[in-house]
Chain A
Amino acid sequence: MSATSHYTSTGLDNRKIAIWAFIGSECMLFASLISTYLVYKGRSITGPFPHEVWKDPSTGHVFKPILNIPVTSMSTFVLLMSSLAMVLALAAVQNKHVPKRTLGDKILGSSKLWLFMTALLGATFLGFQAFEFTSFVHEGLTIKTNLFGSSFFTLTGFHGAHVTAGVIWLLTLLMIDFKRGLTPDDALNVDIAALYWHFVDVVWIAIFTLVYLIR
């Protein structure tokens, strides 16, 4: 895990350059997905709709607005807190050799605790998303129902897949920490995972506002 870095002409670690370049490309991927959602916004011919009531003319069934803001607000809060846990995990690894005298120091300095908390909060977010997707399907919105369904499930599904990859990455780091212990020499590896995780968080910040809150 603690692979040595090579000298580069920039004097920067090539792994760090790679993750930032990857995050830059991911910005454009998510911008295309968000653009697609926004371009199709309000252009669905049939419901259910995100913020409006819709009456199916063929059956007379009335569909209420499908987005569940309280549930999504909770999941947003959970993801934000996972970012806090992630920076605390990184700080704990970076300061592994600093003596911990008080219980507070020991808690703050436990990389295992914070890595576990980050993965747990990420998994909780995925649980919220699974609940949301399931309830949408039960209420009659699938990826094939209308333009809103197609663009919504594609956008949030891609984001969920990224969160899933992040949780697996975090669990791998946690496993290594339990097996041999992460040291300050591993800080860059944790830092790279942290950058990915925070990126997933900032993407959700944009999605929450653009998809859920703006009517």
Chain B
Amino acid sequence: MDSSHSHAHSASHSDLHNDPHGAHVSGEEHTHPTWSTYWKVALILTLITAVEVWVYYVPAIVASRMFVPGLLVMSAVKFAIVVLFYMHIKYDHKLFRALFVGPLIIAMLTLLALMFLFGHLSFGHVGPVVPLGH
């Protein structure tokens, strides 16, 4: 059984009740993922998680400069895959995208600003981390 369907919406009020995604724009084409896409996404998420954990146990990789960036990239890919395919933001209205991505950008900028402010990140010399109170 394939749940894949593609339909052009006509923006009538009655349709709004049956629109499972609540995104309803005249003439907008919506294509939703198939069940096989959902299973493939789950497999990819599992594989990336397995690689993340494997990397954690390889001392040579842990010691390398690529350890932290590599983990961050893999995590970001997993995050994006879930948001795009499971939260179907890829297929939804742009307002929903804005409501999620806007605060996410603010949140990430705040996080980065705090990391710089407290000396965990630096543009130049990175000093030793000093315990608070010393």
Q: Residues on A close to B: CB < 8 A? A: 4-5, 7, 10-13, 15-17, 20-21, 23-25, 27-28, 30-32, 34-35, 38-45, 69, 73, 76-77, 80-81, 83-84, 86-88, 90-91, 93-95, 98, 100, 102, 104-105, 108-109, 147, 184-185, 187-188, 191, 194-195, 198-199, 201-202, 205-206, 208-210, 213-215
Contact = CB atoms under 8 A, between A and B. Distances in A.
A10 B95 contact: yes
B58 interface: no
Interface in B90-107: 93, 95-96, 99-100, 102-104, 106-107
Contacts of B78: 202, 205
Contact of A24 (B18, B26, B104): B104
A69 B53 contact: yes
A4 B18 CA distance: 10
25 contacts: A5-B22, A12-B23, A12-B95, A13-B16, A16-B22, A17-B22, A17-B99, A24-B104, A27-B104, A38-B115, A38-B120, A40-B132, A43-B129, A43-B131, A77-B49, A80-B42, A81-B46, A83-B45, A108-B35, A184-B18, A194-B86, A201-B86, A202-B87, A206-B75, A213-B55
A24 to B, nearest CB: 4
Chain B interface mostly helix, strand, loop or mixed? helix
Given A17-B99, A69-B53, A209-B72, A86 B106 contact: no
A109 B93 CA distance: 26
Nearest to A29: B107
A199 B86 CA distance: 10
Given A24-B104, A80-B46, A88-B38, A11 B11 contact: yes
A51 to B, nearest CB: 10
Contacts of B130: 43
Contacts of A213: 52-53, 55-56, 71
Contact of B118 (A27, A39, A210): A39
Nearest to B118: A39
Contacts of B11: 11
A108 to B, nearest CB: 6
Given A147-B132, A202-B83, A205-B75, A28 B22 contact: no
Contacts of A214: 67-68, 71-72
A42 B115 CA distance: 13
Contacts of B129: 42-43
Contacts of B96: 12, 16-17, 20
Contacts of A44: 131
Contact of A105 (B1, B67, B120): B1
Contacts of A42: 129
B31 interface: no
B103 A25 contact: yes
B118 A195 contact: no
A24 B103 contact: yes
Contacts of A7: 13, 16
